[in-house]
């Protein structure tokens, strides 16, 4: 039996400026060191922090942008098995409905940039983001989708949709 892997819970927050460009951070620390990704972080589980509270906190801490839970739309939940072979992740993906006004200054986590959706395809981003995260954003950002992904090393990433709710209906598709 393979050794048990730790299970971590995190959020990613997709922020855009008024031109519809996405705010990404060039990560200065693992995971995802040296590559671009949306902002986010791990839930403070000891305090019982909810995914919405975490998204609000991470947005403030990383960008200085003050938002509330009402500014967020939860559009995806992804359970990733064996990401990079060392951790299971439960990730909550949020889209901020308010545009961020300016490029935040660099922080210890990394530096920021605004990119069009097309430009993101040419950036160094995690392979799971290229194959799963951004296509999920493109397709489900107005509704909700729950997925599971097997990221076990040595095998192609497999993704299964567990539930989809169409935008504006509240009904599963």
What does the pLDDT look like over 44-54, one tens digit per residue?
999 999 999 99
Query: Could you tell me if residue 128 is inside a domain?
Result: yes
Which DSSP letter does residue 142 get? T
pLDDT of residue 173: 52
pLDDT of residue 82: 87
Domain with 43, as residue range(s), is: 7-165
37 and 91 Cβ atoms separated by less than 8 Å:
no
Determine the average pLDDT of the residues in 104-111: 96
Residues 6+ apart with CB under 8 A from 97: 71, 72, 73
The CATH number given to whatever domain includes residue 105 is: 3.90.79.10
pLDDT of residue 12: 97
Determine the average pLDDT of the residues in 150-156: 87
Query: Could you tell me if residue 170 is inside a domain?
Result: no
Q: What is the mean pLDDT of the chain?
A: 92
Query: Could you tell me if residue 117 is inside a domain?
Result: yes
Determine the average pLDDT of the residues in 74-91: 90
Structural domains in the chain (count): 1
The rounded distance, in Å, linking the Cα atoms of 165 and 146 is 9
Query: Could you tell me if residue 15 is inside a domain?
Result: yes
Query: Could you tell me if residue 52 is inside a domain?
Result: yes
The rounded distance, in Å, linking the Cα atoms of 158 and 18 is 35
Determine the average pLDDT of the residues in 155-171: 81
Query: Could you tell me if residue 39 is inside a domain?
Result: yes
Query: Could you tell me if residue 173 is inside a domain?
Result: no
pLDDT of residue 169: 57
Query: Could you tell me if residue 171 is inside a domain?
Result: no
90 and 10 Cβ atoms separated by less than 8 Å:
yes
- Smallest CA-to-CA distance from 163 within 154, 155, 172, 171 is with 172
Question: What are the beta bridge partners of residue 80?
Answer: 89, 149
Count helices and strands in the chain by DSSP H and E runs: 4, 9
């Amino acid at each position: 039996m393979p050794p048990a892997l730790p299970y971590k819970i995190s959020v990613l927050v997709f922020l855009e400026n008024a031109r519809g460009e996405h705010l990404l951070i060039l990560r200065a620390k693992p995971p995802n060191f040296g590559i671009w990704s949306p902002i986010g972080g791990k839930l403070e589980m000891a305090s019982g922090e909810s995914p919405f509270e975490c998204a609000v906190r991470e947005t403030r801490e990383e960008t200085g942008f003050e938002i509330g839970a009402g500014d967020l739309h939860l559009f995806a939940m992804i359970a990733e098995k064996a990401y990079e072979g060392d951790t299971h992740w439960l990730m909550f993906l949020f889209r901020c409905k308010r545009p961020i006004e300016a490029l935040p200054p660099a922080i210890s986590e990394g530096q920021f940039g605004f990119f069009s959706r097309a430009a993101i395809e040419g950036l160094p981003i995690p392979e799971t983001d290229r194959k799963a995260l951004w296509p999920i954003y493109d397709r489900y950002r107005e509704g909700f989708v729950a997925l599971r992904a097997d990221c076990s090393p040595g095998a192609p990433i497999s993704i299964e949709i567990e539930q989809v709710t169409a935008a504006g209906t509240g009904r599963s598709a």
